[in-house]
Amino acid sequence: MKINEIIEKINARAATSLPEEDFELEKAFSSDLMSDVLTLEEENILLITGLANVQLIRTAEMANIDVVVLARGKKASPEMVELASENGLVILETPFSIYKTSGILYSNGLKPVY
């Protein structure tokens, strides 16, 4: 799925600038445990989480995650936005729960990591 499709499907708002060229994401992973995120060996991943802190952005960068979706109405702090922008990471914010967000994206073709 392309980022703009994802934004539309999950009623999201981009907290960071979107890339000039929309790109395709193939897989998603949902977790609030950053230790689980660090075990991922895939690339081109979207992460759905309820966490909203700078450590999340640092972990996403280390795990080669391209897009982070903050669920449950969580908002990215200015520090998160700055760090994500420096690392080319997109942050989206959705009012939906992690479960609902995952279900919507799965039903629209985004595959699970495992």
Q: pLDDT per residue over 77-96, tens digit each?
A: 999 999 999 999 999 999 99
- In the chain, beta strands by DSSP E: 13-14, 27-30, 45-49, 65-70, 90-93, 111-112
Please tell me the distance from the alpha carbon of residue 114 to that of residue 3, in angstroms, as a whole number: 21
User: Residue 98: pLDDT band by 50, 70, 90 thresholds?
Assistant: very high
The dotted CATH code for 3-112 is 3.40.1390.20
What does the longest C-alpha to C-alpha distance in the chain come to? 33
Give me the residue spans of the domains in the chain.
3-112
pTM above 0.85, yes or no: yes
Q: How confident is the model at residue 43 (pLDDT cuts 50, 70, 90)?
A: confident
